[in-house]
Structure 1
């Protein structure tokens, strides 16, 4: 029931009913509606900014963010694996490859150096997941830098390997006459008795006794520097320049199979055993020079003889007997 209000009329000494004005009643209604609408709007705004109320767009964005977090987590796990593999390669690079090729290892501080100067990640700041994105981006940048350093290092190692391969091919590493073609090891490196003067003098090479016409093999890759008989005592002889300071000489040949300027590879036949020049019997006089100095050829026969054969030839070569030239 609607509540009725009265007032006391002092002139007539009686209670009279209060009649509300129509305009005032309407304004009250409008004020109520306006306040209700404002209150409802405020509540709606508050709900929008709380985690308890999500729009379809918010839910879609939330799923995308969760998906990106999962992807970033997987990316970081892959980078952990890449880190482990790269560290293994770096360790082998420093402790094996560079040691083998006698070159300086890359310092750890150079491999792991960061990025100085301006803030490279300023554009990624200010977001809810900025820390995750920045840390992952930094890891990618560091890995990329380390990979560039390691790639350049491996390029250098490859170049050193090619140079090393050339060096190993150039070193005079085999006997110039096969064991099956040898009669015996006539004389070794060092002081020996001269067959003509019978005086003890230095013998600068090794003498391989074999029949005339036995093939003579070049002991390392190189270029024939000379093939003539103009040097005193050697008769028909060949000199091969191998590079890296190495030269070999093959003396008292019966004939040549190469000429000056020709490139030869280890194992090629370059001439044949003879007894030309200052020689007492058919044999090959063989010398090895390193940086202009004669060295003992016995130190280089590791390419085509066994350990047992080396011991035998070493024992014979070290006997102080008479040379054949």
Structure 2
């Protein structure tokens, strides 16, 4: 009797443990992994969202390069500052804090102000002194390191997240799934990019920006206030970087080096699309985002940025001026 009392519970436990395996072997009631077309469609949706975030942050960097010929290596820190400012306003130490929409608006204003201060207080005086491009690049790298480690001291090394829209059930759209938060980020990003394109094409300041990017000396001789245009570009670039930082923090998480991790992809998108072309930066950023997410179908996620940069190399071997860049004579 004692032996039977011991064997019966053991038999029940063994049967319970083996039942799922048996059901899996028979294929009854066990969800099967998604097919490759479904996973490819999901990767495409994720890539479009990621590319839209890269595009918002890269356009400002591209406009700055087009008007000043400066690759601002501190642009990634503007992305981080936007996300961190929104985090502190949203997740207040004392009190409930503001909603993420209001926090994002404040972060965009702060990003624009920081961009303007950098132009008036640093880059304009350096241009007046005739500072060379190599020296300006070194200054930009030093400014990037300074801002990044100041953010580390103030924000800390622990990641954080916003209060709203943290956990959501995904919406199923055919073979793909996307949360309402990610869908909103993608739609808003595309709307911002469309609005920026209309600004560049339909407004006087947009025409002036394109003129300065095409030929600075000729634009100045035509009566365009180049200094005012450059200041506006820095304002716009700082605002877009901060907005992209908020979107990036919503889609993933807020960290002290998030902008630095995104900087290489921004530069890759700009070069891929064509240096100095805002529309090229948009197109190149979407390509980089889609390739980065699509590569995870075959390779580890840790290598997705490497494959995106490999796509950049391949395109430049075929078309050195980039997707929407123009050929230029050298010498």
TM-score > 0.5, shorter chain as reference: no
If you compute each CA radius of gyration, which structure gives the higher value, 1 or 2?
Answer: 1
Give the structure-1-normalised TM-score: 0.23
Structure holding more helix per residue: 2
Structure holding more strand per residue: 1
